[in-house]
Structure 1
Amino acid sequence: MNTSSLFSIIIITLLLHDHCNCQNAPKAGQISSMSKPKEGDSATFGCKAQSGDKPLYFKWFKDGEVINNHNTIRIEYLTKDSAILVIDPISVNHNGNYTCVISNIYGRDSSSIQISIEGPPKWLNKPEMLYNVHVNDELRIPCSAVSSPIAQVILKMFKGSSWEVIDDVSIKKAENQIVVSKVEKVHEGKYGCEISNGIEPKLWTEFDIKVIVPAEFKEKNTAVSTKKGNSLELECSADGDQPVTVKWFKDSTPIDKVDPLRYQITDAPNNDGTKSMLTVNSADVKDDGLYLCLAENSFGKDERKIRVTIIEPPPAPLNFAVQQVWSRTVSVSWAKPPESKTSILSYIIRYWKVSSPGVNDRLHEINVSSSLNLHLIKDLEPGSQYESTVIAVNEVGSGAPSQKISFVTGEEEPSGAPVDLHAIARGPTTARLAWRSPPRNTWNGKLLGFYVGYRLVDDYKTPHSFKTVSIAESNSSHHEYFLRYLMKGAKYSIILKAFNSAGSGPESSEITVETLSGDVSNPPRLFVSTVTTDSITVGYSLPSGSNKIQNLDLHFKEGDDSDWREMDFFLENKDVGEYTLTALNPDTIYTIYLTASNENGVSDPSNIIKTRTVRSHRDNFAIGSIFDGSNGQYGDSRAFVGVLSIIIAVSTIIIVIVIAFVYVRKAQLEASTKPNFEFALATGTLPLNKSIPNFGTERRFTDPENTKPLMNGTMTLDHHANQYPVSYSNLPTENVSY
Structure 2
Amino acid sequence: MAVMFSLAVSLIVILIGLPVWGNSMDSPKILPFHFPTSIEHGAKVPVTCVLSKGTPPIMFHWKKDNKELFTTEEKLEIVTHGEFSLLVVKNINGNDIGNYSCIARNNAGYDRYTSELLVQAPPFWKEQPKDTEAVHGQSASLHCGIGGYPRPKITWKKAYGTQSKDFLVVHNEYKKTILENGTLVIDSLKEADEGVYTCEAENGVGEGIQATVRLSVHAPPTVTSVKRRTSAKRGETAVIECEITGEQPLLVSWEKDGTKLTMPFTRFETYEEANGKGVKATLLISNVQRRDQGNYLCSVQNDYGSVKDVTALTVQEPPESPSDVKVISVNSRSAQVIWGAPSGISTSIKQFVIMFWKNSKVSGKLHQVSLTSTETSTLLRDLQPGNEYTVQLLAENDVGRGDPSDPVTFETKEEEPEAPPVDVEVEAADSHTLQISWKPPPTDTWNGQLKGYHVGYKVEGSASQLAYETVIKTNLREEKTLLRNLRPSTRYSVAVNAFNSAGDGPASEEIVTSTLNGDPPQSPEVKVKNVSQTSVTIMWSPRVNSDASVEQYVLEYVDTDQNKQEFHAPGSHKEYCIEGLESGQRYSIRVAAYNMFGRGDFSPSLVVITEGNARVPGYEPIVHETPFYFRLYFVIPVVASVTVILCVIVVAWACLKRAHYIEGRKAQLYVSYQQRLTYVPPSEISRDSRAVDAAYDIPWDVPNGGGSMGRDRSSYVKLKQGQNYV
In the superposition, the TM-score normalised over structure 1's length comes to 0.37
Structure showing greater radius of gyration is: 1
